[in-house]
């Protein structure tokens, strides 16, 4: 059960006792407060425009902000509005995740539904539904069935977010060629341009807000564009047709979400977007097994071998057998092989029309390797790189997934390497259209792949994806994705990921869901450039950067050369029953403890940016009265990401929940701990 409920309720009570002193606000047309009276949404009108606003404990966070749409071939839908109806309801349930950071999730909100109707002319109506939690809000538009607004062509969504308190923001640009793969910027909120979500902000008094969306289905992704001051407007990713979204009513938009918390840690612990998604639509998904995998991958990025056929082809039968043997020996479930199929021999970046998803490259015996793997208790992990030729891929999707289904390949990594806006769409009419990775057409494509895969009991891990909006709740076979700069940038990125990168990711990208970051480069060496990380930090990533599939990304020989550190990677699970963020600041540091779903063991990961630091960590998450053996993998006393990244120590200690641990992190460092109850 969630553990934050009690303090939140207390806050709510405190608010009530001070209610009399709160400044008078103009009468709202409709309003709703969160269950613990922490957040409050109000709907008002100004010049017949509907405005929404948000306050927390009586303090304004979002000033009255516009709602509405710019529609094609018909009048703008945002003026001349009246409140035709409103209703409220409350909801409280606890649901179970098939896999995840925690087993149980509480979904407790108060809802306000308002119907807005035009007073004159077309008299069109739409609903806005607000769900207000103690730790955030979501709202969406619902278009009812009405003859005067049937084919809805959205040229722009006019939703605004006028942020009241001055704030600092962490963000990456949107609408740029490299999709989500940018380093995070930290600037005053008034200096932000056009950004992807999640965007995280912190106010002067330490309040944290993360802007994102939930349940992005058959709609374009929302970027946020600063209009003036701290006022932002939704900017939908465009469609090849020139509009942003095209739908037939009745339909609803995704939820526009704001997580709101006193600390970065609490921001991460919120389950807002998952809660706003529909329940599991797939039924029993026990066929997906959270697990770790290895594969023919890092060697490709180091250019030791190639995706293309030839003398250095990585995906040979012999090389794959080597990885299968390694996986079997060390207990990894999966073996990914990239470059296994035909189509890699030319220029495939942004040009995937040569890919064939059922034909193996010469020298790669798919059937034989699948059988060899099976005999060793290992599963091949499939790979479908599209090079952005998405219609070409869709045309082969059924047979491609059938093949994998038949061979027991139950996780498939997909890939969309093409510049943003350059996804190739072919409707069979002789015209090649170019779509965005995160537009409506791709939101449909991804769900097509995910549902087709689910029908064959296959899980999907998309690279160069559309962003995560919590759809894993509805489709639990959509297990992970990339959608940020991952480990590959340490192979060839210019610049590589800086020491603060992961501390940025945790409180931005990771708020959206699991990431296939591919940690564990114990050699700390990219292609001619070192990683900006200590050895211990590579281990901490397995706990800090959540995914139900975790790669041990380094070469087998590098792991065999470091059996001491490798032991943690072998031990750490990929599925959890509980998660606690013990401390953290955006872009600076974080410590997360997670409990193994299948044992009584706890794991802790802590990491820092370019500064060394000591953190005092009470072990109150451990079961009281029990003794634990803690295997501590830490930075050596002289460790530093720049000069001494391999300085490393392993210690064993006996600890209990009453202990307070001093976690010492080197500059660019980290720490990983396995706690096992004694005598088990």
Q: Which residues would be at the binding site for Ca ion (CB under 5 A)?
A: 463
Sole binder of ligand NOJ in the list 44, 415, 439, 605 (CB under 6 A): 415
Q: How far is the CB of 54 from Ca ion (least distance, A)?
A: 35
Question: In terms of CB distance, is 244 or 463 closer to ligand NOJ?
Answer: 463
Question: In terms of CB distance, is 463 or 473 closer to Ca ion?
Answer: 463
Q: Within 459-518, which residues bind ligand NOJ (CB under 6 A)?
A: 463, 482, 488
Which of 300, 302, 365, 296 is closest to 334 using CA atoms? 296
- Burial letters for 390-425: b for 16+ Cβ neighbours within 10 Å, e otherwise? bbbbbebbeebbebbbebebbbbbbbbbbbbbebbb
Q: What residues have CB less than 8 Å from 457, skipping those under 6 apart?
A: 287, 288, 405, 410, 477
Sole binder of ligand NOJ in the list 285, 302, 417, 649 (CB under 6 A): 417
Which of 460, 418, 425, 455 is closest to 440 using CA atoms? 425
Question: In terms of CB distance, is 267 or 418 closer to Ca ion?
Answer: 418
Question: In terms of CB distance, is 230 or 518 closer to ligand NOJ?
Answer: 518
- Where does 82-141 have alpha helices with state H? none
Output phi, psi for 592, to 5 deg: -125, 135
Chain centroid, CA 212 distance in Å: 11
The secondary structure of 628-662 as a DSSP string is: EEEEEEEE-TT-BTTTBTT-EEEEEEEE-TT-EEE
Q: Which does 415 bind (CB under 5 to 8 A by kind): Ca ion, ligand NOJ, none?
A: ligand NOJ
The secondary structure of 305-353 as a DSSP string is: SBSSSSTTBS--HHHHHHHHHHHHHHT--EEEETT-EE--SS--TT--T
Question: In terms of CB distance, is 103 or 463 closer to Ca ion?
Answer: 463
Burial of 1 by CB count in 10 Å (0-12 exposed, 13-18 middle, 19+ buried)?
A: exposed
Which of 114, 116, 109, 105 is closest to 89 using CA atoms? 109
Q: How far is the CB of 483 from Ca ion (least distance, A)?
A: 9
Question: In terms of CB distance, is 125 or 386 closer to ligand NOJ?
Answer: 386
Q: Within 316-355, which residues bind ligand NOJ (CB under 6 A)?
A: 338
Q: How far is the CB of 58 from ligand NOJ (least distance, A)?
A: 46
Q: Which does 40 bind (CB under 5 to 8 A by kind): ligand NOJ, Ca ion, none?
A: none
Q: Within 273-312, which residues bind ligand NOJ (CB under 6 A)?
A: 297
Which residue has tokens 């969630």?
A: 2
Q: How far is the CB of 309 from ligand NOJ (least distance, A)?
A: 15
Sole binder of ligand NOJ in the list 134, 156, 299, 385 (CB under 6 A): 385
Q: Which does 338 bind (CB under 5 to 8 A by kind): ligand NOJ, Ca ion, none?
A: ligand NOJ
Answer for the pair 180, 223: CB distance below 8 angstroms, yes or no. no
The secondary structure of 439-490 as a DSSP string is: SHHHHHHHHHHHHHHHHTT-EEEESS-PPP-STTTT-TTEEEE--S--THHH
Question: In terms of CB distance, is 463 or 537 closer to Ca ion?
Answer: 463
Q: Within 75-104, which residues bind ligand NOJ (CB under 6 A)?
A: none
Q: How far is the CB of 213 from Ca ion (least distance, A)?
A: 22
Answer for the pair 619, 659: CB distance below 8 angstroms, yes or no. yes
Binding status of residue 129 toward ligand NOJ by CB under 6 A = no
Residue window 196-225: x/- pattern of binding to ligand NOJ, with contact defined by CB under 6 A = ------------------------------
Give CA–CA dist 590/477, Å, rounded. 28
Question: In terms of CB distance, is 385 or 554 closer to Ca ion?
Answer: 385
Burial of 347 by CB count in 10 Å (0-12 exposed, 13-18 middle, 19+ buried)?
A: exposed
Q: Which two tokens stand for residue 136?
A: 């955030």
Q: Which does 298 bind (CB under 5 to 8 A by kind): Ca ion, ligand NOJ, none?
A: none
- Strand-pairing partners, residue 43, are 30, 52
Out of 488, 500, 578, 647, pick the active-site residue: 488
Q: How far is the CB of 561 from ligand NOJ (least distance, A)?
A: 23
Q: Which does 410 bind (CB under 5 to 8 A by kind): ligand NOJ, Ca ion, none?
A: none
Q: How far is the CB of 418 from Ca ion (least distance, A)?
A: 11
Per the annotation, the verdict on 452 as an active-site residue is no
Give CA–CA dist 546/605, Å, rounded. 11
Q: How far is the CB of 516 from ligand NOJ (least distance, A)?
A: 8
**Which residues form the interface with ligand NOJ (CB under 6 A)?**
297, 338, 385, 415, 417, 463, 482, 488
Residues involved in catalysis: 488
């Amino acid at each position: 059960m969630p553990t934050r409920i009690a303090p939140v309720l207390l806050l709510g009570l405190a608010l009530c006792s001070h209610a009399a002193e709160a400044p008078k606000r103009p009468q709202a047309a409709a309003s709703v407060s969160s269950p613990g009276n922490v957040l409050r949404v109000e709907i008002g009108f100004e010049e017949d425009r509907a405005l929404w606003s948000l306050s927390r404990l009586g303090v304004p966070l979002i000033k009255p902000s516009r709602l509405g749409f710019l529609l094609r071939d018909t009048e703008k839908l945002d003026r001349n509005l009246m409140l035709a109806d409103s209703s409220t309801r409350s909801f409280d349930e606890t649901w179970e995740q098939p896999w995840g950071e925690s087993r149980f999730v509480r979904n407790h909100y108060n809802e306000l539904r308002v119907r807005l109707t035009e007073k004159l002319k077309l008299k069109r109506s739409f609903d806005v539904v607000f769900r207000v939690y103690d730790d955030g809000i979501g709202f969406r538009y619902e278009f009812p069935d009405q003859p005067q607004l049937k084919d809805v062509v959205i040229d722009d969504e006019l939703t605004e977010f006028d942020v009241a308190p001055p704030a600092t923001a962490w963000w990456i640009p949107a609408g740029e060629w490299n999709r989500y793969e940018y380093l995070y910027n930290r600037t005053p909120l008034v200096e932000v341009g056009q950004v992807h979500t999640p965007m995280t902000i912190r106010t002067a008094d330490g309040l944290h807000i993360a802007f994102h969306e939930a349940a992005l289905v058959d709609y374009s992704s929302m970027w946020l564009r600063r209009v003036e001051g701290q006022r932002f407007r939704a900017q939908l990713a465009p469609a090849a047709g020139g509009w942003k979204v095209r739908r037939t009513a009745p339909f609803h938009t995704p939820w526009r979400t704001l997580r709101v918390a006193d600390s970065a840690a609490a921001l991460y612990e919120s389950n807002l977007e998952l809660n706003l998604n529909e329940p599991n639509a797939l039924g029993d998904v026990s066929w997906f097994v959270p697990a770790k995998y290895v594969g023919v991958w890092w060697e490709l990025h180091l250019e030791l071998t190639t995706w293309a056929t030839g003398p250095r082809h990585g995906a040979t039968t012999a090389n794959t057998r080597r990885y299968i043997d390694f996986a079997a020996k060390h207990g990894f479930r999966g073996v990914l092989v990239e470059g296994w199929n035909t189509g890699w021999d030319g220029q495939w970046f942004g040009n995937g029309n040569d890919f064939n998803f059922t034909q193996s490259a010469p020298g790669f015996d798919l059937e034989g390797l699948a059988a060899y793997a099976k005999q060793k208790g290992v599963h091949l992990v499939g790979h479908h790189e599209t090079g952005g030729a998405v219609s070409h891929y869709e045309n082969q999707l059924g047979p491609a997934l059938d093949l994998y289904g038949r061979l027991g390949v139950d996780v498939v990594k997909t890939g969309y390497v093409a510049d943003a806006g350059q996804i190739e769409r072919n409707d069979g009419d002789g015209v090649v259209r170019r779509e965005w990775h995160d537009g409506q057409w791709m939101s449909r494509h991804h769900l097509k792949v995910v549902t087709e895969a689910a029908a064959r009991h296959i899980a999907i891990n998309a690279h160069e994806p559309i962003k995560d909006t919590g759809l894993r709740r509805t489709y639990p076979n959509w297990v992970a994705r990339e959608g940020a700069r991952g480990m590959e940038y340490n192979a060839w990125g210019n610049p590589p990921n800086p020491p603060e990168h992961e501390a940025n990711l945790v409180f931005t990208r990771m708020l959206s869901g699991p990431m296939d970051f591919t940690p564990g480069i114990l050699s700390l060496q990219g292609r001619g450039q070192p990683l900006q990380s200590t050895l211990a930090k590579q281990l901490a990533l397995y706990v800090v950067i959540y995914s139900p599939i975790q790669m041990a990304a380094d070469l087998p020989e590098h792991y065999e050369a470091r059996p001491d550190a490798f032991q943690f990677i072998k031990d750490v699970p990929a599925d959890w029953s509980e998660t606690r963020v013990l401390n953290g600041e955006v872009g600076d540091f974080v410590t997360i403890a997670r409990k193994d779903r299948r044992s009584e063991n706890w794991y802790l990961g802590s990491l820092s940016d370019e500064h060394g630091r000591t953190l005092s960590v009470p072990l109150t998450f451990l079961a009281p009265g029990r003794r634990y053996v803690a295997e501590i993998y830490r930075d050596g006393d002289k460790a530093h990401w720049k000069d001494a990244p391999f300085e490393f120590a392993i210690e064993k200690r006996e600890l209990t929940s009453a202990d307070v641990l001093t976690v010492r992190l080197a500059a660019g460092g980290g720490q990983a701990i396995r706690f096992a109850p004694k005598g088990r």
